Structure 1
Amino acid sequence: MNLFSPLYLRSLTLKNRIVVSPMQQYSAINGIPGNWHLVHLGSRAVGGAGLILTECTAVSPEGLATLNDVGIWNDEQKTAWKNIVDFVHEQDAKIGIQLWHSGGKGSLRHPNERMKPLNDEEGGWTVKSSSATEINGVVPKELTVEEIHELTKKFADAAVRAVEAGFDTIELHAGHGYLFHQFYSAVINKREDEYGGSFENRIRFLIETVREVRKVIPEIMPLLVRISAVDYIDTPEGWTLEDSIALSEILKENGVDLITASGGGFTNVSKDKVFPGYQVSFAAAIKEKTGILTGAVGMITEAHQANEIITSEKADLVIIAREHLRDPYFAIHSAKKLGIVTEIPWQYQRAF
């Protein structure tokens, strides 16, 4: 088994273990992906990646972080995504959509404007979270139980549209300080009802949503979840790797097929904790303890490094972000470096 071995997820076959990580492009209008997204995602499919994951895709307008993020809460967005899905499939690659809600980290300006909070005149909205706990200088409004149930339905509705658009798999973004993470981490969640307090209560929103999404997508379609394996906050409230292992076991029991183990979201990670492959151990621990398939992230930038993660069975997929920005053809170049024969688009073969 190596970086270019196929991986089987329910009925889905990935031709290799290289995944284009979700990376926000802040280039949409009204949540609709456009030509930028077609070229951005399509070129990585041409470049040989086995699985392309879209950037965070909001399930409602209030789920956006900025007004330039993508969504899939209406049919116009669904149709635009289908054009991209079809092109990726033409390149013999698979594509998944990452469904997401920013929660208390929403209503922000474009990153070129340093992501400061939007005001009403700029189209800002009232952000809501598990609790009225400050996040990045903003205190969100606490969601009601009824609103939580409505959000679960919006995730399920978005999943239905994703299936109709032709996506091969769905990933729920439950990390990086966004809404699901704002519930399961006690750093943010201060509720005293059935969605707060105990571990079981804090994970309830995510588990209920997983169950509803699993109900509305085909049995043969894999379901993925990205979590923050640790908060990088050394307090009793901080989410830990042991918590993530327990959560992953429950997600597995509820029909989740693969966990991507990232980290952080509420604080800057200390520079001494950031190094090549610095989060791979999270995926390895979750895989070892629960038996669920995992995806590894964290400054994976080089072919031999990525291959070693797979050959040593630390994870089942390598989720590569910034190196794919630098090199859309990372997969083809990696095969060359590893001495592995891989398919190259006929249009480009004369260059390789």
Structure 2
Amino acid sequence: MTAKLFTPFTIKNVTFKNRIVMSPMCMYSVETEDGMVKPFHLTHYESRAAGQAGLIIVESTAVTPEGRISPQDLGIWSHAHVEGFKKINEGVHRHGAKSGIQLGHAGRKAAVQEEIFAPSALSFSDAYKTPKEMTIEKIQETIGAFKSGAKRAKEAGFDVIEIHGAHGYLINQFLSPLTNKRTDEYGGSTENRYRLLREIIEAVQEVWSGPLFVRISANEYGEGGNTIEDMLYFAKEMHKQGVDLIDCSTGGVVPVKVKSYPGYQVNYAEIIKKEANIPTGAVGLITSGLQAEEILQNNRADLIFIARAFLRNPYWPKQAADELKVTIEGPEQYKRGWNV
């Protein structure tokens, strides 16, 4: 019997050859603060595709200059960025992998020279600038930036878009009562706190009909933060809106130390998958093929997002296949050393 990790998974018109996803991870490799793809990015993403990941998701890519997590982050706020992403996609697709991009905005966690914005004028910590509270006009401008980013992502040839609603960045800041102290239609009730994400999803869907993922922080690790009931409300609303998969991470909303251990976030993917009836991705110290296979066989998630293990080993899928005693095809260039 073929290991489930190496079975195909189809969303809409896109089929991933296996259930292994390279999770989006900041590479801090833009050298001139212009958000442009550099040679490192081409090598980094293609090498993981050659390693036989089913889906490669490019790091959090800023939809506005002030939305960058750092000045070294990729951007997609102008048409000039499209050509570099086309080159990334050429390399990824060359090896039979699908490509995705995570569209993001850092909000109050942006460490950039520009003026920064958030739902409320609360700094993340003493090490961060205090953001300016977003006006309704600024909110609408930002929603438009996500829409424009999605349109450029389509032009660049991506197969999947993921909206970054986790790790304490802008969308997460609106979702959380810890960071959203607004008294207008974008704050207060759970429904109001969801409004920004709802409107971003709607805007993206106007220009994008392919697979749409959303990453969330399912546990905020802060007293008074969102509960699992809040998260299930958000997940069910996303499902109604046509989001195809929820990528279940945790943390980053407030500066607290998180106790991590193998698979420490998987339970959230399982709960949301079963209670909200929506496909999920599991992430968080998943490092072995056996661990990934257990998650899939027990129907706890649909896709396995591998992060740091992919930084250590671009050929992690081969390592996992060997553990599970499965033979997978390697890139033509490496076949002499692939299955020996």
In the TM superposition, residue 333 of structure 1 has moved relative to its aligned partner by: 1.7
Matches within 5 A, 1:51-62: 51-62=55-66
Secondary structure in structure 2 of the residue aligned to 1:203: helix
Runs of 4+ with >3 A deviation: 267-271
Q: Find 1:23's aligned residue among 1, 22, 25.
A: 25
Q: Find 1:150's aligned residue among 141, 160, 181.
A: 141
Q: Which residue of 2 aligns with 1:167?
A: 158
Instruction: Determine the C-alpha separation between the residues in 2 that align with 1:268 and 1:349.
Output: 46
Question: Which TM-score applies when normalising by structure 1?
Answer: 0.92
Q: Which residue of 2 aligns with 1:91?
A: 95
**Identity across the alignment (%):** 46
Give CA deviations for 1:84-114 in whole Å, capped at 9, x if unaligned: 1011101100000000000111134xxxxxx
Matches within 5 A, 1:100-115: 100-108=104-112
Matches within 5 A, 1:1-352: 2-28=4-30, 29=32, 30-108=34-112, 124-137=113-126, 138-218=129-209, 221-233=210-222, 235-236=223-224, 238-268=225-255, 270=257, 273-352=259-338
Residues 276 and 269 from structure 1, CA distance in 2 versus in 1: closer, same or farther, beyond 3 angstroms?
farther
In the TM superposition, residue 270 of structure 1 has moved relative to its aligned partner by: 4.0
In the TM superposition, residue 202 of structure 1 has moved relative to its aligned partner by: 0.6
Paired AA for residue 174 in structure 2: F
Decide whether the 8 Å contact of 2:25 with 2:60 is kept in 1.
yes
Instruction: Determine the C-alpha separation between the residues in 1 that align with 2:254 and 2:288.
Output: 27
- How many residues align? The count is 332
Q: Which residue of 2 aligns with 1:120?
A: none
Instruction: Determine the C-alpha separation between the residues in 2 that align with 1:269 and 1:318.
Output: 26
Paired AA for residue 106 in structure 1: A
The CA RMSD over aligned residues, in Å, is 1.1
Decide whether the 8 Å contact of 1:105 with 1:136 is kept in 2.
no
Gap runs ≥5 in structure 1 = 109-123
Paired AA for residue 208 in structure 1: E
Instruction: Determine the C-alpha separation between the residues in 2 that align with 1:193 and 1:229.
Output: 25
In the TM superposition, residue 134 of structure 1 has moved relative to its aligned partner by: 2.2
Paired AA for residue 338 in structure 1: L
In the TM superposition, residue 269 of structure 1 has moved relative to its aligned partner by: 5.0
Gap runs ≥5 in structure 2 = none
Instruction: Determine the C-alpha separation between the residues in 2 that align with 1:25 and 1:276.
Output: 23
Give CA deviations for 1:124-183 in whole Å, capped at 9, x if unaligned: 121110001121223211000111011101100110000000000100000000000010
Instruction: Determine the C-alpha separation between the residues in 2 that align with 1:67 and 1:268.
Output: 21
Instruction: Determine the C-alpha separation between the residues in 2 that align with 1:332 and 1:168.
Output: 23
Paired AA for residue 136 in structure 1: S
Secondary structure in structure 2 of the residue aligned to 1:188: coil
Please say which of residues 160-169 and 20-29 is displaced more in the overlay: 20-29
In the TM superposition, residue 266 of structure 1 has moved relative to its aligned partner by: 2.7
